[in-house]
Amino acid sequence: MSLLVTGSIGIDTVEAPSGKVRNVLGGSCVYFAYAASFFSDVRLVGVVGDDCPKDFLKPLQKNRRIDLSGVEVRPGSKTFRWHGRYHQDVNRRDTVAVELNVLAERGPTIPEKFRDSRYVFLANTHPALQAEMLGQLKSPKLVVADTMDLWITTQRDALVGMLRRIDGVVLNDSEARLLTGEANLVAAGFQIAEMVRSFAVIKKGEHGSLLITGRRAYPLPSFPTVNVVDPTGAGDSFAGAMMGYLTAADAIDPAALRRAIAYGTVTACFALEGFSLNKFLTTARDDIDARMSEFRELLGF
């Protein structure tokens, strides 16, 4: 089965209590793709500017499961840049600087050879752009999107219209509350699951996640860890492993979704343990499966 992801590729500068890195590989579809590649092949679609260093995307080729032929290098444009600073409590962060650059231009085009993708993740971008990419797909089996507070506030109609056309949505707790006006997350989740065709996943960072599907709410804590180096990309990695698992299993029933989310949880935990893709690059599928077993054991009572 084929998994397609569209999203941002970024040049990140990150400051955290554990250290600082400059101009490292980041962006939603970068973390997503690497996490997904532990489970399935991945087709990555995104745009960088011609300022993007040669070999910048090379880490994504490590396990040879990520097809980068959908990455457009746009002449005369500049790559998206983000500079974030985490507090002592790494659950809080400030954006020091952001340069949208190529993300503020027209979106990427999905290459003809990728349009038959059955599993698709539209990472966070303008909902009109997400809808446009949706229109380029031939017969997807499962389309899931991410979004953010900016679009909920400024592009509500476009967002709601796009959500109506897809199967699932992944968003964080504050976004779920903003989208619904509901303080109770479970109630918010039920409302959001009604906005899409099938399910909603609410990410709660250190507190885990909540899946709403088939009129039921499934909570899951995060995997307990003290080794948090850099939370950047953890949410994208969560979604990546979730979609990668579903693609490999070629299943979208509630039981598969729940296993997918558990895999998303443990895989995201590895993303936290290094800057950029550093920890992922020394992680094997066996490591993820071992942590999955430990997670099951921690949750059994």
Name which of 96 and 299 has its Cβ closer to a second copy: 299
DSSP 214: T
- Of 219, 249, 251, 287, the residue at the interface with a second copy (CB under 8 A) is 219
**93 in contact with a second copy (CB under 8 A):** no
Contacts of 127 by beta carbon, 8 Å cutoff, 6+ apart: 147, 151, 155, 158, 159, 161, 162
- Of 1, 217, 249, 251, the residue at the interface with a second copy (CB under 8 A) is 217
Reduce the DSSP state of residue 66 to 3 states and report it.
strand
Question: Residue 275 Cβ, how far from a second copy at the closest point, in Å?
Answer: 17
**195 in contact with a second copy (CB under 8 A):** no
- Is residue 33 within 8 A of residue 40, CB to CB? The reply is no
Please state at what angle helix 285-299 crosses helix 254-272, rounded to 10 degrees.
Answer: 110
**184 in contact with a second copy (CB under 8 A):** yes
Reduce the DSSP state of residue 68 to 3 states and report it.
strand
Name which of 102 and 269 has its Cβ closer to a second copy: 269
Name which of 53 and 214 has its Cβ closer to a second copy: 214
What is the DSSP pairing of strand 3-6 with strand 119-122? parallel
- Of 55, 89, 112, 157, the residue at the interface with a second copy (CB under 8 A) is 89
- Of 14, 176, 210, 277, the residue at the interface with a second copy (CB under 8 A) is 210
- Of 74, 78, 83, 207, the residue at the interface with a second copy (CB under 8 A) is 207
CA distance 277 to 272: 9
CA distance 297 to 301: 8
CA distance 21 to 16: 9
Question: Nearest 5°: phi and psi at 95?
Answer: -90, 115
- Of 28, 222, 267, 283, the residue at the interface with a second copy (CB under 8 A) is 222
Question: Residue 147 Cβ, how far from a second copy at the closest point, in Å?
Answer: 21
**293 in contact with a second copy (CB under 8 A):** no
Residues 240-259 that bind a second copy (CB under 8 A): 255, 258-259
Question: Residue 273 Cβ, how far from a second copy at the closest point, in Å?
Answer: 13
Q: How far is CA 288 from the centre of its chain?
A: 17
Number of H helices, E strands in the chain: 9, 13
**Interface residues with a second copy (CB under 8 A)?**
87-91, 177, 183-187, 190, 204, 206-208, 210, 216-226, 228, 255, 258-259, 261-262, 296, 298-301
